Amino acid sequence: MTIRKLMTALLASVAMTTTAFAADLRIGLQEDPDALDTDQARTFVGRIVFESLCDKLVNITPELEFVPELATSWSWSEDAKTLTMQLREDATFHDGTPFNAEAVVANITRSQTLAESRRKSELSSVETVTATGPFEVQFTLKNPDATLIAQLSDRAGMMLSPTAAAEKGLELANEPVCSGPYKFVERIQQDRIVLEKFAEHYDADSYSFDRVIFLPIPDTTVRLANLRSGDLDMLERLAPSDVAGVQADGNLTFASAISQGYQGITVNVNNGARSETPFGQDARVRRALSLAIDREVINQVVFEGTYAAGNQPFPPNSPFYDQTNPVEARDVDAAKALLAEAGVERIAVEIQAANNPVQLQLMQVIQAMAAEAGFDISIKATEFATMLQEQTAGNYDATQVGWSGRTDPDGNIHAFMTCEGGLNDSKFCSPEVDTLLNEARSAIDPAVRKEKYDAANAILREELPIIYLYHQTWLWAMSNKVKGFTAYPDGMIRLSGVTME
């Protein structure tokens, strides 16, 4: 081979290699997800991975309208107790198992009966689910449930291969098998999750990347540095302090959307021995901490004014937000008076928080504010999935943690505040709150639902198993070579139509 031919071959090889690498999309996540099993999972970043891995029965638009995905259409009976869904006939799971009505029945049954399932409360209204045809499924409800379509647009509606679920049991979390546009390749904890394109997906032509690689990088500064260096193509949850810099960088693109969720401090009120303190047992102490916090200052100091101060589970742009109860101003004297009334002069509280710079800065500001009122807060920086495990186990006083939010308001409150809620790690239990939240689920009239939520939140404002702090805005940054990305209020990264120049 001549030198000229050799050089031509080498250049062709380099071009092919560059093209192959360009077919990968590398996304920086703020945390490492927990279990990659839609029934066991609870993390926000896990939902981002599932969005590419697992199709759902229903999806949403950026305007929060429900649209078909695996279900092509649906209808309700006159009494709103029977939901009938027509299903796609051209979908298949990554292991070759066909998607059909029996697969839906198997998934919903698993979500309701698996001992470790966190979807039970989300599907508690479903009495039976039946295949009424090869591609038709019918949900029969115990009572009308205004939230069910919303639940089926999230993890409760994500479909796993029934074959894999039966074979693997809980180990499915280590090698998930769904029917989404990308299939699972490998996971190395705290390092990466790799998916590759599923060529048999019914909408495969809408997905441009051969592989999607999720890289957990908790440090926001490091995450952005990796984006600028080209080691990432996109990141989620850009630090608010970096927004201006990204907007001024000609190599990067910025996107944002107001979230549906909240951030707060979840308090252990009844989850084992760690709850047996004045902070866990006396609501006056929790109200004192809430009064010691200036939420508007937090928004300005920590979040550059990009977020909204909060004191309830629904954001200010939600129709279910209680306008009659605005965020309280900080009142250190009132906080001290409540502590005195509870027989406490000073109190030590350990609050665990995710080990990323933004959340730790938030907690340092809260620590300083609370000290003036009589709280000696120690901050326990913890890897996110481990933090949630400790919280579930009751090995915590309090946790600074939030919720990404759901399209239906039930998703922001029911699982956290009902006695048997799947995400109720505080173990708060009030029969009156249970009744109100269950009635809100059953009410079809939005005005009636709002009355129920307002009444439940009035009780929760007194008890404060969660001390709400703020409502965030989702902030993304990406290479300017990434085109076609649409920001959604749920914070998910949807890759249909996204390309790389």
pLDDT for the residue 416: 97
For residue 9, is pLDDT > 70? Answer: no
- pLDDT reading at 8 higher than 70: no
Q: How far apart are CA 150 and CA 259, in angstroms?
A: 16
Whether the CB-CB separation of 156 and 122 falls below 8 Å is answered with yes
What mean pLDDT comes out for the span 196-209? 98
What's the whole-model pTM score?
0.83
pLDDT of 11 strictly over 60: no
Judged against a pLDDT cut of 90, whether residue 251 lies above it is answered with yes
pLDDT score, position 18: 37
- Count CB neighbours of 348 within 10 A: 11
Average pLDDT over residues 304-317: 93
pLDDT tens-digit map of 14-52: 443 333 344 999 999 999 999 999 999 999 999 999 999
Per-residue confidence at 7, pLDDT binned at 50, 70, 90? Answer: very low
Helix or strand (DSSP H, E) at 359? helix 357-371
Q: Is 140's pLDDT higher than 80?
A: yes
Thinking of the domain 18-33+180-258+475-500, which architecture would CATH place it in? 3-Layer(aba) Sandwich (3.40)
Per-residue pLDDT reduced to its tens digit, 46-92: 999 999 999 999 999 999 899 999 999 999 999 999 999 999 999 99
Residue 494 pLDDT exceeds 80: yes
Residue range 55-166 forms a domain whose CATH class is alpha beta
Report the range of poorest mean pLDDT among 7-16, 176-185, 301-310, 425-434: 7-16
* Residue 1 pLDDT class (50, 70, 90 cuts): very low
Indicate if the pLDDT at residue 143 is higher than 90: yes
In this structure, the strands spanning 262-267 and 398-403 are antiparallel
Q: How far is CA 71 from the centre of its chain?
A: 22
Residue 146 phi, psi (nearest 5): -70, -10
Mean pLDDT of 202-231: 97
361-366 contacts, C-beta under 8 A, 24 or more apart: 361/302, 362/298, 362/302, 362/400, 362/469, 363/400, 365/297, 365/298, 365/301, 365/302, 366/265, 366/293, 366/298, 366/400
**Contacts with 428 (C-beta within 8 Å, 6 or more apart), sequence order:** 269, 270, 417, 463, 465
pLDDT score of 154: 96
Assign 398 a pLDDT band (cuts: 50, 70, 90). very high
Indicate if the pLDDT at residue 343 is higher than 50: yes
- Residue 138 pLDDT exceeds 50: yes
Cβ neighbours of 13 (radius 10 Å): 10
Indicate whether 406 pLDDT > 70: yes
pLDDT in tens, 410-446: 999 999 999 999 999 999 999 999 999 999 999 989 9
CATH of segment(s) 262-471: 3.10.105.10
Provide the mean pLDDT of the chain: 94
CB 313 within 8 A of CB 436: no
Please state the rounded mean pLDDT for residues 291-318: 95
What pLDDT does 3 receive?
Answer: 44
Tokens matching residue 178:
């769904």
**In contact, 418 and 433? CB cutoff 8 Å:** yes
Distance between CA atoms of 205 and 183, rounded to whole angstroms? Answer: 15
Residue 317 has a pLDDT of 86
- pLDDT tens digit string along 82-121? 999 999 999 999 999 999 999 999 999 999 999 999 999 9
Query: Above 50 in pLDDT, residue 305?
Result: yes
Arithmetic mean of pLDDT, 469-477: 96
Confidence class of residue 12 from pLDDT cuts 50, 70 and 90?
Answer: very low
In the chain, where the domains are located: 18-33+180-258+475-500, 55-166, 262-471
- Please tell me the distance from the alpha carbon of residue 162 to that of residue 152, in angstroms, as a whole number: 17
Secondary structure letter of residue 399 according to DSSP: E
Q: DSSP letters along 412-466, please?
A: GTHHHHSTT-TT-TT----HHHHHHHHHHHH--SHHHHHHHHHHHHHHHHHH-SE
Percent of the chain clearing pLDDT 70 (strictly above):
96
CA atoms within 13 A on the CB side of 473: 20
